[in-house]
Structure 1
Amino acid sequence: MSQLQSLRGMVDLLPEALHRWQAVEAMAREHFQRSGFGEIRTPLLETTDLFCRGIGEGTDVVGKEMYSFQDRGDRSCTLRPEGTASVVRAAIQHGLLSQGAQKLWYAGPMFRYERPQAGRQRQFHQIGVEWLGADTARSDVEVIALAWDLLASLGVGGLELELNSLGTAEDRQAYRNALVAWLEQRSDALDPDSQARLSTNPLRILDSKNKTTQALLEDAPTLADALCDASRERFEGVQRGLTALGIPFQLNPLLVRGLDYYSHTAFEITSDQLGAQATVCGGGRYDGLIGQLGGAPTPAIGWALGMERLMLVLEAAAQADPQGVAAQLTARVFPDVYVVNRGGDAEPAALALARHLRAAGLWVELDASGSAFGKQFKRADRSGARWAVVLGDEEAKRGEVRLKPLKQKAEEFTVALAPVAAIVERLLSP
């Protein structure tokens, strides 16, 4: 019988890696709580129409990458390819928007049928925030600052913020007309994907990775030229706010993001920690999305970061600075105590002792093998624990336990099995 394997692009997260993920998630949770964002958890499976209406049928995500199928009720269902549309759907469905502005964050798996590569899988994971009901330039600045500060606190180096304004729907339509007219005169010079997008989603051509198309676009009309006075003034307000906070940025007129629902501010935060610039966070304003999905017209802004890409960046940062924050955050953690035990009287006593030590807040590994003490001590050394707690039948009969330091040269000593508080005090001592 052949061995079963996970599907391509669906990666198992094993305990050692998952510990690092949880450390990042805990740091993110602290930042979100301090900024007044509450967690929301939405289903992995939604109606396909949610993403067709929200993301846009002309996007690559909807057209090429979604995992969609008919369920037994003959409904078209899709594994969520991103988090924003689901959060907005939940806010509308449960009447959250009638309670005022909503500051929400989420974390979890998303699904896109893409070619797997380093930092990008078909099941990938995002952490994101959505501020529904926020309409000012200052809210844009606050949300961007939250992402910037989180990444900096994680020890990510070489951060760079790229910024653009997509303006209003009217601005984008005017620009779309000008861009299409310009590109149609040069369509033969476009790569095949961009030629196909010319009639479906021309703004996505600006995000082309084809070098020939990129060179051509250097002379193309820019969205900045199509912004109305109000949009231009709003964008200048965002730039002033970021400057006041000391957050550096670069304007990128080709930054359009990959989803149709964006408007006004769009941004990406990159890091050079992997050598080349790699995007670790992206987002922007989406004032029209809530109305598109059946809610009252409501302004909103948000962002998401990809965990797989972020973990690669953190590992590179840890190697570059072994004493830095990223290294501390991603470092392997070890038990406080390894309980070495053997014998008919010792083993139940060791189980009770381990339980009490865990209740006192210690991380305790209890050897349940019943093997010789020599083998157990070798496992204790490999575990990385600070202490070995040794309990054999003789110790159990005397009501004692031996404490043996494992990470420093020091003599072991014997203490009474009770009270446990005295053992805990010794184990926590420097």
Structure 2
Amino acid sequence: MILPPPADVEAQLAAARRDGDLDRYLGLLAGEELFVPIRRVDARSILDERAETFPNVYFETGGDEFLQVFTRGALPDLGQDVVAMSGSLDWAVDGVGRHERVVFNRGTRGEWRLPGATLQPWLDAHLDDVTPLEEQVERLITAPYGHLEGPIAHALACGAHLAVLEAAPWNVLDARYYDYVAEVRGLRDWWGVPDPPGWRTTMTGLIGDGYALTPGNLVLMLRLRFAAEYGLPGAEFDPLTWAQLVDRWCTEHDAADQADELRDTVRRVSRYERRLRADGLVDADGCVTTALSWDVGRAVTIARGGLAAGYCDALTAELMVLEAGSLARRYHQSWADLSAGYVMGRVLHAGEDGFGEWYPAAVRVHHQLLQDPASPWLNLDFGSLSEESEA
């Protein structure tokens, strides 16, 4: 199937501009992540904490200066020396004086130049209509300028959990459309990726030869093997029997030093599966087959972030995403299977018995991706890629 036409905020802004409807125009902007160009050297100063404020890149014409503000899909290619930072509408125009002007979506049909004397009173009257960036979450966004079908779209959809959670387009792989400073900080602070060598090491750990060696993936893989040996569905292995068989495997494979950790992982997986069944992520008589999709989802996100941060080129990012998608198809049977494995991997990664604050959001995103008519999971057949299309 082909994805339905995605929502196009740039087209909606162009229609509001054509009609001269300022309230509708600013109302649309108030709910969006907005991007302001900034010189790359200045962005580096912010990252190095040498700059207290960020200097905007102004557009000059006829002696006038305009602050440029863009929606994501309207961002032009401003060259290697310019990147972007993003925030909500009030952030984007903060500090604009009454007689200064802002140009929104310059160069598009929705371009509108507005003075601070118009913007600030509107913001004062509609402050509750502005959605802060930290509240722009759990949105399924399909970008009309992104990948809509084919191997790359399918692979990017394998990372849809994190994209929806962060209200980022799931189908975009292009450095231009991201907040450079936020991506560099996110890679460093959330994923422990400080530089290009660290990025490559992380990607190798997620989708390289060692991807299946985590305790979670190992005990799940062993359960599948035991199920085949005994002719029983994996869900029928009670935790005690499963742990005993894992002990046997450790003895037979000179891995006694792993036995305690693997037994504890069996206990945790069994407990988590009960919760996943109760929340509708796994069928009542089903089980999670692998947690590899947690690695796959992170790999897609970190590949995208690495491209935005300049840690790799576009071709490398694309190849990494395609490899992640290939792994997902190899070890999962469906989007629902992939999603359940992603959530299992996430709870195992947390390293604690409890379910964190993030868990309810993960459940909501799971159901949204499996039920929303605009979801790639309902429009891209999980196993539909032909050998020719993957070549």
TM-score (norm: length of structure 2): 0.23
Q: Which has the higher contact order (CA 8 A, sep 6+)?
A: 2
Structure that is richer in strand per residue: 1
Structure number with the higher helix fraction is 2
Bigger Rg, structure 1 or 2: 1
Provide TM-score, normalisation by structure 1: 0.21
